[in-house]
Chain A
Amino acid sequence: MAQRAGQKRKVVEVPRPEPEESEDELVDGELDGALVDDGDSEEELSDDESGDDLDEGDIEEEIELDSDEIPSSEDEEDVRQQLQDLKTGNGKSTPLQKLMRSDTAKDVSVITPGTDVKLLHDDPGEESNYTITTDANGNERYVYGEIDPGYDTDDSDAPVTTNTIGDIPLSYYDAYPHIGYDINGRRISRPAKGEALDSLLDSIDLPKGWTGLTDPATGKPLQLTREELDVLKKLTRNEVPGDGYDPYPDMVEYFTGKGMEEVMPLSAAPEPKRRFVPSMHEHKRVMKMVKAIKEGRIKPYRAPTEEDKEREEAEADFATYDVWANEQPQPDHPMNVPAPKLPPPGYEESYHPPPEYLPDSQEKQAWGEQDEEDRDRDFLPRDHAALRKVPGYEKLIKEKFERCLDLYLAPRVRRSKLNIDPESLLPKLPDPAELKPFPTTCATVCKGHEGRVRTLAFDPSGKFVASGGDDGTVRVWDPLTGRQCWRIKLSASEPINVVSWRPGTDVFILAACCGENVYFMVPQGSIISPEAEVASQEVLDSGFGHAASNAAKTAAGQDKPSSSSWSRPSAALQERGVLVTLTLRSTPKTLSWHRRGDYFTTVSPSTAATSTAIAIHTLSKHQTQHPFKRLKGLAQTACFHPSKPLFFVATRQRVRVYDLQQQKLEKELQPGARWISGISLHPLGSNLLVSSYDKRLLWHDLDLGAMPYKTLRYHSKAIRSVQFHATLPLFVDGSDDGTLQVFHGKVVGDSLENATVVPLKVLRGHRVVRELGVLDVAWHPREAWAVSAGADGSVRVWT
């Protein structure tokens, strides 16, 4: 192609003008150059026409490369050509004029000679370049001097002539494969034509989107879609890559425009004074700083010296100093901590461990159940037949994440494991098994009562249980066999509210409250010895004798109406063993004996007059006293102290202790119950149990004050009754939820130690009938046997 270009140039240069007058030539020398330049531009135009768009410089380089072999000769040729061109400068102007045919060209052609002349004359240097001599023929001979190699003389830019065929049309070589000869006589081959290349390229079938590039990522040929190509093309042209992209959006006027005009000035107030007066506070602060600088407290900035930099670097190095970088074996010393060494992996870590290292199912389960922190190893050995069967490490992500959190120093909530034995938090109570004996099972069920059994009592010898119920009968049972030994019907309509044996084993007297009467009876049926029977009858009869002997005095002294009457019952009842009847004005609900068996107290909570609610009776004298003129609250129950002359009265919410000898209030207890159902005094007399209808059982230590020492709330319904055991450290309560609860309640003799209360057993068995379960409980006088009266009509013995 380079040859072709050069050739073309030659072709264009074909019209060679004839040499003219040297003066003109000389004068035109400068202009010729310009004209030759013009001619070059013409050539370029013609080149464009031929479709060749290569630069001139490129051409020259190509030429130079092609004519490497003989550059000097070529240069000479160039020089000669230039000289020829210079000579034909004048002749060339004519065709130019013809070509242009414009006024300016005409003007140039008109003006040029004159100016040239002037220039020639003006330039003396040019004149002395040659001398005109006369040759032998007499003709003028131009003898040229040395050429000054100025810039203009360098003709290396001129196209190199490679084809040596001369000034002939190339069509002469149309029949040949070459188009000429170079300076060494070698054929210049005809360049391949466009049509041939195109046909070659067309012959190669290219895939769609073929770019010829290789994707460095995949190594596959990079294929681009049409859209991608479009984008690339646009990018190369500095065009907008997308269709919807607007490179010049309209300006949004945020701060200017309509409605944004700033109204000036903001305030018409005159400038305040402080704008002109130096600030006092600033002055103060500045003075502080100045003072600190003077005192050396603030040091002005000093450029860090080399030492400072070194120190900083050392500090930075210290932070990243690898302790174990150069680990050398050293003698054992506390200051030398050797690098931790991981143990080499064992058989367990193997992907195919020996079978003895594989965990069995139990070990696996145990491992799975353990907490992660407690596991001695954090993996389970698993067997894979081959290494390629080992699955990916499932905990990788998790561990990496944990590691990242570690690096972040991310705080994480660690489950703090409580190593507190829950048993140790409980108060130390003795094991119930150590507190035997206590009732655990129902030994006997005594059935016979129709309707509820309201009350029961163990006789003082422990052989019999007396019970009374809604059917108006009093029954005596053998607690071991459940045999009913004796039975009497006291009333057809009224229930028996209380049965109570007189204390003492020598006599056998049973008191029963039915309606407004209190019956005193001696059970028959061979269950008591004849001696005891006789003694009991004597005790009961003695009162009549006393009443008879003192009748006159009573009548003479005070004739206040007696609130009670002692009498003999009907003959039928006497035949059955009922020997004395005491009739009160109101229904007594509780009856409690003094330990000697002579006094007993009855409480009638339903009475209108509170003064007669509580009565103390003397059996031997058939007397009735009302110790309280006026009682605060509604009396519920009362009892005597076992050894001291104290009298306990429970109203609905209070328990009061009275000294009977001194006739005064000893103590008032506040159990905190809303409605007291019963009280039981410990046989030693220093502790009192209070049961309440609001499900609570309250233990009062009389030495400790008015508030209960312990509150036991284990029942789901009202507690009806509570009883201390006479000899064993036990107490039992009965509730409307049909259960009895047995407690161990040990009272120590010295007052320094508090009582121990241990729940022992819940005794279930009574049916709940109409919201009522267990109505009364009692203890065997010696054994750990409890009896309970149920609303289901049964008396149960628990052993």
Chain B
Amino acid sequence: MATAQVPGDRLAQVRIHLKTRSPDIELPQDTGPILVSTELKRYQLSTLVNRLLDTEKPIPLEFLVNGQFLRTSIDEFLTQNGISAETTLSVEYVKALIPPLYVASYEHDDWVSSVDVLSASSKAGQWAGARYDSSAQRILSGSYDGLLRVWNMSSEVVATGQGHTASVKAAKVLSPTQVVSSGFDRTLRLWKYEDSEAAGAASLTPTLELYGHKASIDNIAVHAPSSRILSASSDHTVGIWSSKKAEGPAAPENLLPTANKRRKLSNTKTLPQRGPLNILEGHQSQVSDVCFDGRDATVAYSSSWDHSVKTWDLTTGACVDTRTTAQSLFSICHLPEASLLATGTSARHITLIDPRASATTVSAMTLRGHTNAVVSLATDPASSYQLVSGSHDGTCKIWDIRSVRNDAGTERVGDSVYTIERDSAKGKPKAVGGEGVKVFGVAWDREVGVVSGGEDKRVQINKSSPP
């Protein structure tokens, strides 16, 4: 039996009930409540669970008690939270996230607006499947100087894409051979990428220009299997595009650059120009971000400055649902396992929205900790509960939606697990409003780690090196 918690009593014990939501590390059989000493800390508990799992190689585990990560001994945890040692603690164990450590910075000429990763484990690599057998990892970055750059892991630019007439705002890897980008020049551009390991040997050649938006395109989302591209534009619309030249309709004449008599075409070789499959109108203000549903590629979500998240049925182009929050939304990403949408807001936090029609409340959870607008979000490739956010306060934060506490009554609030500071801001006083270190884009890859680009003209790579 659990004894009362007496200071200095070495035999103080508490009953815990171990459980997990990850099927790969589930215990062989339900152990029921286990009596453990309150002196135990995370490491001892991790050893205990590993022994129970009977793994050859120990898996580092983290333990969540009442939605909080166990950072101290159980004894101190109980004391801090005022929990009686006689209750049975429900302890959830999760695979530990190793702190992502700074690896490298890739310097650019101008602000880096967007980053993406091409690797075997990245979305593009997975979609390509067997066709992509290269073990090479590439980082795609779009910059405010209007250039796309592809980097290898030894901080060399392997290819540069020149074609945008204004700043690039978004760049995504569609497949190992195809890249899409968009920017202030109101166009989306598809690029053919030919890989090579040597610096400058690879090539990034534009293949298609997509016209249809009347204002800058701030974000794009891609789904290679259905060759669909979604664009979020400042002209209050979401565009649906096809990456295939054959599928696209003709580009609207009035939006072509030739319509502007003052703009000279320097490039004699004209690229094929295509228009949008559909333009989804409905937002009252500029659309900040768009994403596909993680499970169903015919459903998309868009976030806008008009405070709303809209669910779109891409096949019909209809707005299925609108969820209105209290703040302008700057970024969105879908957590398919939890059926939640994470949106970064101008109110310096991340709101988790349940987009399903059955959901009663708009905000399922709030992740707090940033000090400026959250403009970029990416999910953890390894876990469906973790995500990384890039904010204008100059930090990237990693969140675990299982770590939750109830604040101010009913509001569920989460805290960040790790904070990634900008390496360029190290040793400098914290700038007001993240001046000079704003993070504009973030991507998370299993192999490469957390890649973020920002106002410091750098792409920064942070990786949690396995032990």
A contact set with B: CB distance below 8 Å: 436-437, 441-445, 447, 461-463, 480-483, 485, 525-533, 575, 765, 782-783, 785, 796-797, 799
Contact = CB atoms under 8 A, between A and B. Distances in A.
B230 interface: no
B214 A531 contact: yes
Given A442-B432, A463-B234, A782-B285, A526 B214 contact: no
B285 A462 contact: yes
Interface in B271-317: 285-286, 305-306
A71 B455 CA distance: 150
A444 B433 contact: yes
Contact of A526 (B184, B373, B431): B184
A108 B155 CA distance: 173
B326 interface: yes
A783 B216 CA distance: 20
Interface string B408-441: 0000000000000000000000011101001010
Q: List the 3 closest pairs (A to B, CB-CB), nearest first.
A: A529-B214, A442-B433, A526-B166
B215 A528 contact: yes
Nearest to A480: B373
Given A462-B285, A530-B254, A799 B346 contact: yes
B151 interface: no
B184 A527 contact: yes
Contacts of A526: 165-166, 184-186, 216
Interface string B252-284: 001100011010000000000000000000000
B395 interface: no
Contacts of B432: 442, 445, 765
Contacts of B328: 783
Contact of A444 (B185, B326, B392, B440): B392
Contacts of A480: 330, 373, 375, 392
Nearest to B113: A481
Nearest to A533: B260
Nearest to A765: B432
Contacts of B166: 525-526
B144 A483 contact: yes
Contacts of A463: 215, 234, 286
B327 interface: yes
A529 B186 contact: yes
Given A481-B440, A483-B144, A783-B305, A437 B327 contact: yes
Contacts of A525: 166, 184
A398 B376 CA distance: 74
Contacts of B438: 481-482
Contacts of A796: 433
A265 B435 CA distance: 111
B351 interface: no
A288 B285 CA distance: 106
A436 B215 CA distance: 31
B214 A483 contact: no
Contacts of A527: 184, 215-216
Contacts of A531: 214, 254
Contacts of B78: none
B348 to A, nearest CB: 8
Given A526-B216, A529-B214, 17 more contacts: A441-B348, A442-B432, A443-B392, A447-B435, A481-B440, A482-B455, A483-B167, A526-B166, A527-B184, A527-B215, A528-B215, A529-B235, A530-B255, A530-B259, A782-B285, A783-B305, A799-B347
Nearest to B435: A445
A310 B438 CA distance: 105
Contacts of B235: 529
Nearest to A524: B262
24 contacts: A437-B326, A437-B327, A441-B371, A441-B433, A443-B372, A443-B373, A443-B392, A444-B435, A447-B435, A462-B285, A463-B234, A480-B330, A481-B438, A482-B433, A482-B438, A526-B184, A526-B185, A528-B215, A529-B214, A530-B259, A765-B432, A783-B346, A785-B346, A796-B433
Contacts of B399: none
A34 B431 CA distance: 143
Interface of B: 111, 144, 165-167, 184-186, 214-216, 234-235, 254-255, 259-260, 262, 285-286, 305-306, 326-328, 330, 346-348, 371-373, 375, 392, 431-433, 435, 438, 440, 455
A463 B328 CA distance: 13
Contacts of B330: 480
Contacts of B285: 462, 782
A765 B392 CA distance: 17
Nearest to B144: A483
Nearest to A485: B184
A480 B326 CA distance: 18
A483 B433 contact: no
Contacts of B165: 526
Contacts of A483: 111, 144, 167
Contacts of B431: 445
A441 B166 CA distance: 30
Contacts of B375: 480
A796 B165 CA distance: 28
Nearest to B166: A526
Contact of A530 (B214, B305, B326): B214
A108 to B, nearest CB: 131
A437 B214 contact: no
Contacts of A447: 435
Contacts of A533: 260
A698 B267 CA distance: 59
B362 to A, nearest CB: 16
Contacts of B373: 443, 480, 799
- Name, among A482, A525, A531, the residue most crowded by chain B CB atoms within 10 Å (CB to CB): A482
Contacts of A783: 305, 328, 346
Given A483-B111, A526-B185, A529-B215, A437 B371 contact: no
A445 B235 CA distance: 25
A443 B111 contact: no
B185 A437 contact: no
Contacts of B215: 463, 527-529
A481 B439 CA distance: 10
A150 B215 CA distance: 169
A461 B233 CA distance: 14
B214 A441 contact: no
B314 to A, nearest CB: 24
Nearest to B259: A530
B411 to A, nearest CB: 13
A485 B435 CA distance: 17
- Name, among B144, B184, B375, the residue most crowded by chain A CB atoms within 10 Å (CB to CB): B184
A654 B246 CA distance: 69
A532 B259 CA distance: 13
A529 B185 CA distance: 9
Contacts of B455: 481-482
Nearest to A575: B262
A437 B184 contact: no
A740 to B, nearest CB: 14
B260 A441 contact: no
A28 B184 CA distance: 177
B281 to A, nearest CB: 14
Nearest to A799: B346
A99 to B, nearest CB: 126
Contacts of A575: 262
B372 A441 contact: yes
Contacts of A782: 285, 306
B433 A445 contact: yes
B327 to A, nearest CB: 7
Contacts of B440: 481
A530 B251 CA distance: 15
A445 B436 CA distance: 9
Contacts of A485: 184
A767 to B, nearest CB: 11
A575 B305 CA distance: 33
Contacts of B259: 530
Contacts of B326: 436-437
